Amino acid sequence: MPSTPVFLLALSAFLALGACWGRYFGGRAPGPFRSRSCQGRAWKRAFPHAGKAQIRRFLAMFAESFGLHPDQRLQFAPHDRILAVYRARYPCTEVPDALELETLTAEAERLYDVDLEDLWHDRLTLGELFAVCGQPRAGG
């Protein structure tokens, strides 16, 4: 069994490497969405009666569910399929995910009282989900 100082040093190095890996690779929008400009206009065109705060709150929920930095939320458009974002994040099916879809389901229920499982189909877009979500709950 390794001595305690060696074990602690190895553990510290592992945690530091993990933090660096997460900082560099985590929190960024996946591939095709990363280089996009702000999609705010697309959201306003699709939902002219929705306020900026309402759109941003919804997109913040989506970004947080997918472990993305809040600044990346407006890189997603109403026509983006949720499953396409997921597949872009996990192109290899052997890689375990971070429960993004489950987190999105729980957050949609908590914030908007929307059961995503009832709405789900493989081509579900962010715009379709936003249209159902409407205003957040008073306590959400």
| Per-domain residue ranges of the chain | 28-133
Give the predicted TM-score (pTM) of the model: 0.76
Which pLDDT band holds residue 20 (cuts at 50, 70, 90)?
very low
Q: Are 21 and 15 in contact (CB under 8 A)?
A: no
pLDDT band at 13 (very low <50, low <70, confident <90, very high): low
pLDDT digits (tens, 9 = 90+) for 42-79: 999 999 999 999 999 999 999 999 999 988 999 999 99
Q: Which of 22-36, 71-85, 111-125 has the least mean pLDDT?
A: 22-36
Write out 87-111 in H/E/C secondary structure: HHHCCCCCCCCCCHHHHHHHHHHHH
pLDDT at 68 (0 to 100)? 92
